[in-house]
Amino acid sequence: MFILMICSSLFGFSQNQSDGINSQMLEKIQQSYKNTDQDKALRNAVASNKIDNLVVNLDNEAKYDTYFSNRVKSKGISDQKSSGRCWMFSGFNVLRSGMIAKYDLGEFNFSHNYIFFYDQLEKSNLFLSLVIKYKDEPLDSKNNEWLLKNVLSDGGQFTGIIDLVSKYGLVPSTVQPETYNSENTRKIDELITLKLKEFALELRAINSKGDYENKKVEMLSTIYRMLVLAYGEPVKEFTYTLRNSSGKEISTEKYTPKSFYEKHIGKDLAKTYVMFMNDPTRPYYKLYEIENDRHIIDGINWKYINLPVDEIKEMAIASIKDSTMMYFSCDVGKHYNRTKGLLDVNNYDYGVLMGTSFSMNKNQRIQTFASGSSHAMTLCGVDINKENKPTKWLVENSWGASAGWQGHLIMTDEWFNEYMFRLVVDRKYIPSKLLRILDEKPTMLPPWDPMFAEDID
């Protein structure tokens, strides 16, 4: 009897027994399924096929159109391969677009591998610094739980571009090319994460008089070596010849990464760009900040202005019409037709197949963790109808030229409303009344908030 009581307590059998599926409840559930001939046919189809293939809305495919009234041209589709660096590819697309236009370049890009090296080193330092900050809290505190579940990743957002590029500069892609592990990051991420967790326990064991700084330098030296083995040592100086699209030499100079950035980009990114969010779960026209949501310990937390989606669209249209690309992020996996590269809420008839409806709105999907930003791309096109309303949007993606439509994705305006989350806009396209919101004290939100996962797909 004593053993039975222990088992009942351990497994919760003594509590809420009436909530279990008893035989009478199971019989009612089973009887609700009629097993008609139509049900049998559906069961055979669903069990034997990919669901998306069964529910493609063929009527909707007839509306597929690749014309855009306004589009920013680009040169060369990038490919993040098997990594979660979409935020970096999108950010670099914004920066390189201006440089290509400035010098009439051909297919030019910056080295993702160079900045990614420092991204991983800085994130490692951020993690260890926060371990020290929260070391007096229990290991299972909310801060430490979040920290140990989010040690290191490929993911990020545009503030990472701002901090990393401003601190470490840029180099052309040919100066520090990709390696196998920069394009296939899973294993090295796993190893560095494991080592950082080990270091976290070591730091927590140091007494209050311990020398944290020297210990952290020692730990980061180990991480630096691991990064060098995987990605190569970051270039410090290089000579580069810049040529236009016709192959004509523009200049040949010796650079450091910082001097290359200052000469060819040359603007203060933190003062140039503003992030906007469409989050209907919170009040609009407010400034928000995400605690500890940054790439560098001495960098800037992610701040954004929350706006209705139509006002975000107005700035996007103004930017595109002026041939300026934007960092854009969304919940890319929802209603995505991979064959056509089309994002449309009418792509698939899931409800018809399953005999039910999926009716949550954007607010409800965010609240229940059913939707959130997952992937960053570069917004570069919009199609505007005779009523001066946008009907569809174009983004340059980083999944290679063969993915989607010529390396791009097309999204209907309705899909944009439902699954667009972040847009980074140059200040010159932002109304002054919105810029004034930046002077307000931001509402601080915790890093585990449902809306604030990194862009990583």
Q: Just list the catalytic residues.
A: 86, 375, 397
Q: Tens digit of pLDDT for each residue in 322-342?
A: 999 999 999 999 999 998 999
Radius of gyration of the chain (CA): 25
Give residue 58's pLDDT. 85
Cβ atoms 304, 276 nearer than 8 A: yes
Q: Tens digit of pLDDT for each residue in 194-250?
A: 999 999 999 999 876 678 889 999 999 999 999 999 999 999 999 999 999 999 999
Q: Tens digit of pLDDT for each residue in 136-180?
A: 999 999 999 999 999 999 999 999 999 999 999 999 999 999 999
Domains of the chain: 70-445 (3.90.70.10)
- pTM of this prediction? 0.91
Main-chain dihedrals φ then ψ at residue 396, nearest 5 degrees = -85, 125
Residue from 295, 326, 376 nearest 87 by CA: 376
Q: What is the dihedral of CA 67, 72, 75, 80, to 10 degrees?
A: -90
Cβ atoms 223, 192 nearer than 8 A: yes
Give residue 82's pLDDT. 95
Name the H helices within 134-211.
Answer: 142-149, 158-168, 180-183, 186-205
Give residue 221's pLDDT. 98
Q: What is the mean pLDDT of the chain?
A: 92
Cβ atoms 421, 278 nearer than 8 A: yes
Task: Calculate the CA 163 to chain-centre distance.
Answer: 16
Q: How far apart are CA 362 and CA 370, in angstroms?
A: 9
Q: Tens digit of pLDDT for each residue in 247-283?
A: 999 999 999 999 999 999 999 999 999 999 999 999 9
Name the H helices within 251-404.
Answer: 257-264, 269-272, 309-321, 350-354, 362-367
382 Cβ contact list (under 8 Å, min separation 6): 68, 69, 70, 71, 316, 317, 320, 390, 392, 393, 394
